[in-house]
Amino acid sequence: MSMILTALQDGVPALHESYTVLAQLGNPTPEPPPLSDKITQMTQYLTWFVLLSGVTSIVFGGGKFAWEKWNGGTLTAPKQIAGAMMGGAVATSAGTIMNAVMGG
């Protein structure tokens, strides 16, 4: 096997000598796309809205839970609180992913 590889290596010209550079690119400077500052601002507003709605939902669910417990009704508020907490986890993960994508 080594004899075959040696014979092939002797018959093939060196690869680093057999190419030519046809074009060279300079170091491009990145620039933000149009309206990127408005999109970033809108994303920040949406992030605050999601956080505020999550906190409001948990507070409302807690108040409803206390009301149901006080009046002895059926307890449906724990499902609402669990749903709000899961929604908050998803929203937090989405925010982290968006920050990584946007370079923040």
Average pLDDT over residues 31-55: 85
Distance between CA 94 and CA 104 in Å, rounded?
13
The per-residue pLDDT for 22 is 66
The pTM of this model reads 0.51
Q: What angle do CA 5, 7, 8 make, to 5 degrees?
A: 65
Helices within 1-104 (DSSP H only): 2-11, 36-71, 77-102
| Residue 79, pLDDT above cutoff 60 | yes
Q: List the structure tokens of 97.
A: 């992913």
Residue 17's region, left for phi above 0, alpha for psi from -120 to 50, else beta, is alpha
pLDDT digits over 49-76, tens only?
888 887 888 888 888 888 888 887 777 7
